[in-house]
Structure 1
Amino acid sequence: MVESYQNPILRGMYPDPSIVLVEDTYYMVNSTFEYYPGIALSKSTDLLNWTKVAGIIDAKEQADLSEAKSNEGIFAVCIRYINDHFYVITTNFAEFKNFIIKGKLNAEGEIIWDKQRIEIDIMGIDPDLYHENGHTYIPFTGYIDDKGTKAIQQVEIDLSSGKIIRGPEVISLGTGGRDVEGPHIIKRNDAYYLLAAEGGTGVGHMITMFKSDNLWGPFEDNVSINPIFTNRDRANETLQNIGHADLFQDVQGNWWLTCLGTRPSTIGFKQITNMGRETLLYPVDWTHEWPEINHGIPSEIVDMTAFPTHQKTLTKPQKLSVFYDSFDGPVLNPEWISLRDSLGKDAFLQDATLTLKGRHTTIEQEGTPAFLGIRQTEKAESFTVTVADTTAVNTGKIGILSMINDNHFAAILVTKQDEQFVVHRYQKVEDLVIEEPLGTLDSLPVQFELINQPATKTFTVTDGKKSLYFETSALHFSNEAIAALNTGDIQGIYALDDAEFVINKVQRKCL
C-alpha cells in the first residue's frame, strides 16, 4: 500500500491541470501555450504514474498557433465527459477564441478528436464546462468594466453548436484577491460549489471556494475557510504559487484536488523557477460542508496514512522515470514538442534514428524553427543527445538549445569550415545577444550535453577526443527573468539552414 508520494505528479511545464475519470482511467489535460501539439494529454489508472499521449490540437482548424507569441497560445484547459464523449474547452489567446473540441474513445482505447472546433462567443479566458439535466454551462473569467475589474461570469450554451442561450452573468467577484480566475463548478448534496484561483499566478496565488443553492448564484464567500488552499504565507514550503485547481472523484468515490505549483530554487537571496508551473495532487476530506485538502497544507511529500480509503486508489508505487528515446517506435514520443506548428517532413523517424532538417527560421523569429524539445523536469538533471554519423552539417548549424521564451535562450552550435567543426555559443537575454567561438573539433560531434543545476546551465559538445563547453546562469532562463509564469524551460535539438541533424538517442535523467 502506498504510504506517501511526491509532488509534482507531472513534472516540468504542466500547468492548469484538469482531470476526468472515465471507467477505470483518469485523463488529464494541461495548458501548452505556444508549443505544439496544443493541449497536453496524459492518462493513468493509479493517479501517480501518468502516460503521455499525443497532444490534442494538431490542426489549424482546431486552433491556429502560428501567430502565438511567447506565453500566448493555449491557456487553461478543462476536460469533461458528457454523454459518452470527451469535451475539452480552452482559450487560444493568439486568436482570442474560446472553443470546445469533442472526442470519442475508439475500440483500441484511443481518443479520436474532432478536427473542427465548437466556438463559444465569450470575452474571457479559463472556461469551465458544467453539464446537468441536459443543460451545459460555462463559467469563465473576464473583465466587467473599464477599470480592470475581473469576475467569474457564466453562460448557458447549446453544446452541439456553442450558441449562447443565456448570459453572460456575473456569479462571483471572488474574495477580493487580484485576478480571480480558473473557475470550476461542482455539485454536492444539492448545493453548488465554485472553485476558483486568486492572487495572480505568483507568490500570492491561492485557491478559493464559494457556495450557492442556485447554479446562477450568488456564490457566497466564507471568510472562515478562504483561501481554502495556498502557500502564500509559507515561504519555507518547497512548493509555491499554489493555484488553479480542479476537484474530481476517484473510482472509490473519494475526492481529490489537482492544482498547479512551482518548485523554486534558492540561489543566495533570490528564488528562481526554471520548470514553470507543474501538476500537483492532494487527497480531500469532504465529510463536512467544506472540503479539507491535505490537512490544509500544500506539501511536496503527501502522507497518505490518514487517508486509508484514498490509499486504495493508489494501486502502484510512484515511479519518477527517466526519459530515454532511441527512436525505434513508429511515431515520435509524445513528450517531444515544437513551436507553434508541426515540423512536417523536416522531422522524421527512420532506421531507429530521428532526422531533423534545418530551417532558415530561428528561435527568436516567433515562427516554427527546426527545434524539437522536451521539458526540464528537475532542478538538477542532464539532457544528453547522441549524434549519428550520418549527420550532415553542410553549410548550416546543429546543436542543442534551452529556452524559456524566444528572448531568453542559449545554444551550443556547430558549423563546418573546411574539414573542421567550429563550435559557437549563441545566447540571448532580452536585448543582449552573446555570440562567441569556443574552439574547433577535428571531427563530427558524437554527443551534446546540457547539465542543469539550480544556479547554472552547462552546455558541452564532444567529438570523443575533445570537449568544448560554456556555462551560464540559470537565472536567465527563469520565470522571474521574463516576469511571467506561463511557461517553463524546454531543452532540445536545433538545426539551421541546410543541416541534417541525425540523432541516435536522447536521455534526460535526474542528477
Structure 2
Amino acid sequence: MAEMIKNPVLRGFHPDPCICRAGDDYYIATSTFQWFPGVELYHSRDLVHWEFTGRPLDEKRLLDMTGVPDSGGVWAPCLTYEDGMFYLVYSNVKTFRNYYKDVDNFLTYSRDIHGPWSDPVYLNSSGFDPSLFHDDDGKKYILNQIWDHRDKNDPFDGIALQEYDPEQQCMKGEPVQIFKGSSIGVTEGPHLYKINGMYYLVCAEGGTFYEHAVTVARSKNIEGPYELSPYHPLMTSFGHPELRLQKCGHGSLVCTQNGEWYMAHLCGRPEGVHKRCMLGRETSIQKLKMTEDGWFVIDHPSGLPQNEVPSPGLSDFIVSERPAKRVFPAKLPDEFQTLRIPLDQRWMAFNEERQSLVLYGKESMESLHTQSLVGIRREHFDFMAETSVRFWPVNYQQMAGMALYYDTTNYFYLNVSWDEVLGRTVSMIICDHGEISVSGERCQIADGENNVYMRMNVKNKTAQFSWSPDGENYFEIGEELDATKLSDDYYNEAEHGLRFTGTFIVLCCQDTSGQRCPAEFEYLTYSPSGGEA
C-alpha cells in the first residue's frame, strides 16, 4: 500500500508553494520574502518525503533586497520545467504598505536545479505573483496580478497575460486582462495549465488568511473569456473551524507520470484562544480528481483539505536527518539565512579550529539594510534551542546573543551587552510592535567567564529564556513570554499592517558605534521536543 502524504509536508515558514515535475522528480518552490538567499527549493520522488535542495537567488546580481520592508522581497515564485530547462520567475517587492506596490518581476533559468542560474531577465512591474506558462505551440506567457493603486478598497485588478519572447529575452505585445476574479475577490497567485485542449487558470483568492481559497476557471482560448468552475471554490477551509489545516489557498498543480493530479497549497495551523499560527504559513498537498464535465475537485467526499492524502507510490528516496547541533566548520549550514543581503567577510568569518561562527557587529535590530544576523526556521511547536557566545563589549552600543525573531518590530532577544555600573551583563529585550522593553533584571557576568551559554525553551505558545556561565547551571531570565505574538495574526489583530513570514531562531551581533565588535558563536542547537511537529 502506498505511503500517505502527511500534511503539512513542509513545516514552518514555507508559503506560496509552486510545484512542478521533471521526469521522476518533483520540486516545490516557496516564498522567502526578506530572507536571503531567495526562494526555498525542495525535492521529492513520491510527494511524501521532501528534502531541501537549495536557494537559487544566492547572489546580489540575482536579488538585492537592501532596504526592503519587513515581509517585502520575494513573493510567490513560480518554478517550471520545459525541454530540459528549469525556469524561475520571481518578484522583488520594495514597498507595499499603502497605496502603491513597487515591485520588479524577473526570470532566471538553469539546466540544473542546483544552478548556475542565468542573469535575471527583467519582465515587468505592473503587479506581483508572476508566473510562466509554456504553451504546446512553443509560445511562452507571463501572468501576474495587476495592482490598481487608485482603489484603496479593492486594488486587486484581476490577472494579466502577456507573451514572453525567449529569444530576445523580453516581453512581447501588450498585456491582456484575462480574468477579473470571482465574488470572493483579492485575486492573485495565477498559474495556467493546458489540459485536453482547454486552458485552466488556477488563482488564489480571499486574501492569505482565514478566508483564503483556490479558484479555477477555464477557456478554449488563452486570452479568454474564462468560465468559473461550477464547483467553485476548488478548495477553502473558511467556514470550517474544526479543520486542523486553516488558511488553505494559493494552489499550484502537478500531474504524475500516471496521470494523477495533485495540488500544493499553503495552510496554517492555529493554536490557542487567539487562533494564531506560530509556525507561519506552511505547505500541504491535496489529491485532485477531474469530474465528468472536466473540472477539478478535491479527491475526498467532503471536498475539504485533508490531513493525510494517498501518495502516487513509494520510491527509494531517503531524506537525510538534520543534526540537532549545528556547528560552523567553514561556512553556514544550508538551512541558515540572512536578512535582505548576503553577509560578506566584512561582517562574518569562521574559526575553523573551533568550528565556530564570528559575526562582526553592524546595524541595530531595526535596520532594513545591513544586520549581522543569521537564522533558521522554527518548524515545531515545541523545541529547545541553545548557543554559546564569546563577546567582550566595551560600551552599551554593542550587544550580541540569540533571539526568537519574527521581524524588525517583533522579537525576544537574550543578549550580552555592557553597563557602566555592572560591566558585562545579560538581559532580555522584548520588542512588541516596535516598542522596546527589558524583561527581568540585568544579570552581571563575573570576571573571567569567557563564554555565555544561552537557551530558549519554547512550548507551543510560550517561550522561556535562560542563561548560564558554565553550560551546566542555567538561570531563567525574564518572564514566560507569549510566543503567539511572533505571528502574522498578531499584526493583523492590532492593525499594524500585514505580515506574511514566520519565526526564526537567530544569532546576531550589533555595534551601532561602528567599531565592529566581534561575537563568536560556537554552535546552535535546535531540538524538537514532544507534541505534534
TM-score normalized by the length of structure 2: 0.87
- Residue deviations 1:188-225 (CA, integer Å, cap 9, x gap): 11111100111011111000100111111111113x30
Structure-1 separation of matches of 2:149 and 2:375: 41
Gaps of 5+ in 2: 95-101, 493-497, 512-516
Name the SS of the counterpart of 1:66 in structure 2. Answer: coil
Distance 2:248 2:272 in 1: 18
Following the alignment from structure 2 to structure 1, what is the Cα–Cα distance between the partners of residues 287 and 318?
Answer: 15
- Per-residue CA distance 1:49-77 (angstroms, 9 max, x = gap): 22223311122222220111101011110
Q: Select which of 434, 442, 448 maps to 2:454.
A: 448
In the other structure, the counterpart of 2:482 is 473
Distance 1:332 1:250, change over 3 A: farther
How does 1:18-417 map onto structure 2 within 5 Å? 18-94=18-94, 96-105=103-112, 110-114=114-118, 116-132=119-135, 133-143=137-147, 146-147=150-151, 148-222=155-229, 224-267=230-273, 270-286=274-290, 288=292, 289-295=294-300, 297-299=303-305, 301-304=307-310, 310-312=311-313, 314-315=314-315, 324-327=324-327, 331-345=331-345, 346-349=347-350, 350-351=352-353, 353-385=355-387, 387=388, 391-395=390-394, 396-415=398-417
Q: What amino acid sits opposite 1:271 in the alignment?
A: K
- What is the CA–CA distance in structure 1 between the aligned matches of 2:299 and 2:322, rounded to whole Å? 28
Amino acid at match of 1:361: E
| CA contact 2:5–2:285 (8 Å) conserved in 1 | no
Deviations 1:110-153 (A, max 9, x none): 32212x21011240111111112221011211135833252011
Q: Match of 2:484, SS?
A: helix
Asked if structure 2 preserves the Cα contact closer than 8 Å seen for 1:353 and 1:505, the reply is no
CA spacing shift, 1:456–1:218, aligned 2, 3 Å:
same
Question: For residues 27-62 of structure 1, what are the alpha-carbon distances to aligned partners after superposition, in whole Å with 9 as ceiling and x for unaligned?
Answer: 221111111001112222232222223311122222
The structure 2 residue matched to 1:490, chosen from 485, 497, 504, is 504
Distance of aligned partners of 1:67 and 1:429 in 2 relative to their CA distance in 1, 3 Å threshold: same
Q: Which position in structure 1 is the counterpart of 2:99?
A: none
Q: Distance in 1 between matches of 2:62 and 2:29?
A: 16
Distance apart, 1:474 and its partner CA: 1.7
**Cα 1:136–1:311, aligned 2, differ >3 Å: closer, same or farther?**
closer
Report if the CA contact (8 A) 1:373-1:493 is conserved. Answer: yes
Paired position in structure 2 for 1:307: none
Shift of 1:4: 2.7
Letter in structure 1 aligned against 2:172: I
Report the number of matched residues. 495
Can you list the C-alpha shifts for 1:315-359, whole angstroms capped at 9, x where unaligned?
A: 369979565344366542221011011111233442362313232
CA contact (8 A) 1:322 1:509 kept: no
The Cα of 1:8 is off from its aligned counterpart by 1.1
Q: Does the C-alpha gap of structure 1 residues 161 and 119 become closer, same or farther in structure 2, counting only changes over 3 Å?
A: farther
Bigger drift between 314-323 and 340-349 goes to 314-323
How far off its partner does 1:431 sit?
3.8
Mapped to 2, the partners of 1:285 and 1:25 lie a distance apart of: 21
Distance 1:159-1:397 versus aligned 2 partners, 3 A rule = same
Which deviates further from its counterpart, 59-68 or 403-412?
A: 59-68
Identity of aligned pairs, percent?
A: 23
Maintained 8 Å contact 2:455/2:467 = yes
Mapped to 2, the partners of 1:67 and 1:499 lie a distance apart of: 24
* Shift, 1:163, TM fit: 2.3
Q: How far off is 1:410 after superposition?
A: 1.3
- Partner residue in 2 for 1:427: 430
Determine whether 1:439 maps to 2:443: yes
CA displacement at 1:277 relative to structure 2: 0.8
Partners in 1 of 2:175 and 2:125 — Cα distance? 8
Secondary structure of 1:138's partner? strand
Q: Quote the Cα distance in structure 1 between the aligned partners of 2:384 and 2:391.
A: 25
Give 1:255 shift: 1.2
Distance in 2, Cα, partners of 1:458 & 1:272: 19
Deviation at 1:505, TM superposition (A): 4.2
Question: Does structure 2 retain, via aligned residues, the 8 Å contact 1:347–1:354?
Answer: no
* TM-superposed deviation, 1:478: 1.8
Q: Name the CA distance, whole Å, in 1 between partners of 2:318 and 2:465.
A: 31
Q: What amino acid is the match of 1:83? A: D
Distance 1:485 1:250 in 2: 34
- Aligned residue for 2:217, secondary structure, equals strand
Structure 1 equivalent of residue 495 of structure 2? none
Amino acid at match of 1:374: I
| 1:462 aligns to 2:468 (yes or no) | yes
Shift of 1:9: 0.6
Show the counterpart of 2:16.
16
- Aligned alpha-carbon RMSD (Å): 2.4
Asked whether the equivalents of residues 35 and 338 of structure 1 are also in contact (C-alpha less than 8 Å), the reply is yes
Distance 1:5 1:249 in 2: 16
- In the alignment, does 2:528 pair up with 1:509? yes
Q: Is the 8 A contact 1:257 1:293 kept in 2?
A: no
Q: TM-score, normalised by structure 1?
A: 0.90
Specify every segment of 5 or more residues in structure 1 that has no aligned partner in the other structure, as ranges: 305-309
Write the deviation string for residues 75-131 of structure 1: whole angstroms up to 9, x where unpaired: 1100011232111001111261011011122xxx732212x2101124011111111
Q: Distance in 1 between matches of 2:438 and 2:524?
A: 28
